[in-house]
Amino acid sequence: MTSNIPKKGEHFELRPDARRRGKGHGVIFVNESELKTPPHFLLRPDSGGFPALREVPRLVYYEKEGWPPEDLEPGMSGYWLVSARLRHVMETVDPAAFAFNETDYRFSDGASGESYFLCDVVRTLDALDEESSQLRIIVSDDYEEGKYYGLTGTVRLAFKREVIGDAHVFRLPYYEGVFCDRVFKEAVEAAGIVTKSSSNGVWFHDVVTG
């Protein structure tokens, strides 16, 4: 019998909040094609992080395309788009977990906007206690790593504390998502980014759902 029992409120999947209605954000990555290396579909390398860039990523917000960006937005050629205040929390709580790249963010009339950054989570830990967790584990050569964690339905995840150590944010090798602990979640809330009335684009999904 295992003693590492999954507990609610300890770890979360960190996601951009997809509940906003409408088209989503209206930010266009205008020089994405110039920065990508053919034949790669995305700017982000498979290994993560940032390649050497020939120029600063140029982002333009078009009102007709959608809402202004919130503190966390997906869909930037494999990267997140994060606000300056969210970057500050990330760097304060767990600087080794993240990589950032400056952007030239402007409005459609050419005026400069707020500071926004491309962001990637660059720490991967083989930290899931599979024996203590409830999830679907798919073993197949169809996956580059040989298996995949299916996190649908009732899921209860337990992590190996000796592997996580003092890390607050990390990826898993067999899943594309990002995970964080309560310390990081509370720091985001303390910064006023997530409130009772607004997520500002940041969503914390408890890894114990049943």
Residue 119 pLDDT grade (very low, low, confident, very high; cuts 50, 70, 90) = very high
pLDDT surpassing 60 at residue 181? yes
pLDDT surpassing 60 at residue 2? no
- Per-residue pLDDT, averaged over 100-114, amounts to 97
SS (H, E, C) the chain: CCCCCCCCCCEEEEEECCCCCCCCECEEECCHHHHCCCCCCCCCCCCCCCCCCCCCCEEEECHHHCECCCCEEEEECCEEEEEHHHHHHHHHHCHHHEEEEECEEEECCCCECCCEEEEEECCECCCECCCCCECEEEECCCCCCCEEEECCCCCECCECHHHHCCCCEEEECCEEEEEEEHHHHHHHHHCCCCCCCCCCCEEEEECECC
Q: What pLDDT is recorded for position 184?
A: 98
Q: What pLDDT is recorded for position 39?
A: 84
pLDDT surpassing 80 at residue 21? no
Report percent pLDDT > 90 for the chain.
87
Cα–Cα distance for residue pair 50/44, rounded to 1 Å: 6
- Per-residue pLDDT, averaged over 53-68, amounts to 96
Q: pTM of the predicted model, to two decimals?
A: 0.94
Report percent pLDDT > 70 for the chain.
99
Residue 192 pLDDT grade (very low, low, confident, very high; cuts 50, 70, 90) = very high
Q: What pLDDT is recorded for position 177?
A: 95
- Per-residue pLDDT, averaged over 5-18, amounts to 95
**Among candidate residues 9, 56, 27, 51, the one with its CA nearest the CA of residue 186:** 9
Q: What pLDDT is recorded for position 66?
A: 94
Structure tokens given for 159 = 């992590």
The amino acid that residue 16 corresponds to is P
Q: Which residues contact residue 54 at a Cβ distance below 8 angstroms, ignoring those fewer than 6 apart?
A: 34, 35
Ramachandran assignment for 102, one of left (phi > 0), alpha (psi -120 to 50 degrees), beta (any other): beta
